Amino acid sequence: MKKRKLGKSNLEVSALGLGCMSLSSGYGPATAKDQAIVLIRTAYERGVTFFDTAEAYGPYKNEEVVGEALAPFRDKVAIATKFGFNFDTSGKEIGLNSKPEHIRRYIEEALKRLKTDVIDLVYQHRVDPEVPIEDVAGTVKELISEGKVKHFGLSEAGAKTIRRAHAVQPVTALQSEYSLWWREPEREILPTLEELGIGFVPFSPLGKGFLTGAIDQNTTFADNDFRKLVPRFTEENLKANQSVVKVLGDIAGRKNVTRAQIALAWLLAQRPWIVPIPGTTKLHRLEENLGGADVELTSEDLREIEEALSEIEFQGERYPDYLQKRVGL
């Protein structure tokens, strides 16, 4: 697989990474550990060198699985993980925490779970309004100087926060949602990243599965599937938003590829420093997603997509209110 550099940093990774969250949480029951390890190692065999996890996925279980899966070839891959939450004894998230002492304690524990002596990229998972971003960036800067972390990242942060953090410790990458049906980052975030030389790591590049065409208004979600809480995934909104699936299907049919591959190729075509991290629990979907890195969209294809999308007004917010309040700070 082709490689890309995240912004002006020296962190070079595969053009597509693997988002590992769904193996442990978010989209229903956790995948059996042995099956999760097989999927992660298959991704590596297919050329993936960038793997994304977080303390919140499980919590903690995902980091353990990723660490075990990648241990045999740890020096050939980049692991990205995230800090920034408190959890109760049952594992339920009970609030943000980016205090310096929490970051330090987290890093020491994450290093053990990930079976490594250095983390390639560590993100603040959500901006903590109670902790100045300068303190967060300064703490990660110290961890970098101590050799425990290589690169600093932010997730779902707003442009002002990105600039303030970058002034203390250069930000290597921002991770936020970006796809054909969530293009908000194009307004302010992408220009900011381009100006500062920061890479972009889009999560949910397939619209949480919607852009694949596998979800319609008749789809039901389990109680422990995050999408059950998402306004865009109500029956009414799923029906209203089907037009984008048809557009992708038309182009995919002509090119003899899938909708998912078109959606990923579109993201890769936006900037050379964008590295999407599609996630999956299924080997055949992994193979399909990775094929998106080989799809070439012509200027005519991109123009057709742009024109079609300009006529579509997507229905439904991407987060429920209580989560949307943590975005863009």
228-246 pLDDT per residue, tens? 999 999 999 999 999 999 9
Does residue 329 sit within a domain?
no
* pTM listed for this prediction: 0.97
> Which pair of tokens denotes residue 297?
């969209």
CA-to-CA distance for 69 and 147, rounded, in angstroms?
23
CA-to-CA distance for 294 and 307, rounded, in angstroms?
23
243-281 pLDDT per residue, tens? 999 999 999 999 999 999 999 999 999 999 999 999 999
Does residue 116 sit within a domain?
yes
SS3 call for 202: strand
Does residue 147 sit within a domain?
yes
Q: Which amino acid is at 244?
A: V
In angstroms, what is the C-alpha Rg of the chain? Answer: 19
Could you tell me the sign of the dihedral formed by the alpha carbons of 70, 71, 76, 79, in that order?
positive
Does residue 194 sit within a domain?
yes
Question: Averaged over 215-227, what is the pLDDT?
Answer: 92
146-190 pLDDT per residue, tens? 999 999 999 999 999 999 999 999 999 999 999 999 999 999 999
Query: What is residue 40's predicted lDDT score, i.e. its pLDDT?
Result: 98
Query: What is residue 11's predicted lDDT score, i.e. its pLDDT?
Result: 98
**Beta strands at 85-87 and 78-83: parallel, antiparallel or unpaired:** unpaired
pLDDT band at residue 105 using 50, 70 and 90 as cut-offs: very high
CA-to-CA distance for 305 and 244, rounded, in angstroms?
9
DSSP bridge pairs for 96 = 85
Contact between 212 and 260 under an 8 Å Cβ cutoff? The reply is: yes
CA-to-CA distance for 4 and 220, rounded, in angstroms?
37
DSSP tag of 83: E
CA-to-CA distance for 37 and 31, rounded, in angstroms?
10
Above 90 in pLDDT, residue 219? yes
The domain in which residue 248 lies consists of 3-324
Does residue 176 sit within a domain?
yes
Listed as own residue / partner, the contacts of 254-261 with beta carbons closer than 8 Å and 24 or more positions apart are: 255/295, 255/301, 257/291, 257/292, 257/295, 258/212, 258/288, 258/291, 259/211, 259/212, 259/213, 260/206, 260/211, 260/212, 260/285, 260/288, 260/289, 260/292, 261/288, 261/289, 261/291, 261/292, 261/295
CA-to-CA distance for 266 and 246, rounded, in angstroms?
15
CATH number (domain holding residue 288): 3.20.20.100
Complete DSSP assignment for 128-175: -TTS-HHHHHHHHHHHHHTTSEEEEEEES--HHHHHHHHHHS-EEEEE
Kind plus residue range of the DSSP H or E element containing 61: helix 61-70
54: phi then psi, degrees, rounded to nearest 5: -170, 155
Above 90 in pLDDT, residue 125? yes
**Annotated catalytic residue 57:** yes
Does residue 270 sit within a domain?
yes
69-86 pLDDT per residue, tens? 999 999 999 999 999 999
Does residue 26 sit within a domain?
yes
Contact between 280 and 22 under an 8 Å Cβ cutoff? The reply is: yes
Could you tell me the sign of the dihedral formed by the alpha carbons of 282, 234, 186, 200, in that order?
negative
Angle between helices 133-145 and 100-113 (to 10 degrees): 40
pLDDT band at residue 109 using 50, 70 and 90 as cut-offs: very high
Catalytic residue among 27, 57, 123, 178: 57
Query: What is residue 268's predicted lDDT score, i.e. its pLDDT?
Result: 98
- Percent of the chain whose pLDDT exceeds 70: 100
38-53 pLDDT per residue, tens? 999 999 999 999 999 9
Above 90 in pLDDT, residue 28? no
Query: What is residue 55's predicted lDDT score, i.e. its pLDDT?
Result: 97
Contact between 293 and 2 under an 8 Å Cβ cutoff? The reply is: yes
Question: Averaged over 44-68, what is the pLDDT?
Answer: 98
SS3 call for 262: helix
Tally of structural domains, the chain: 1
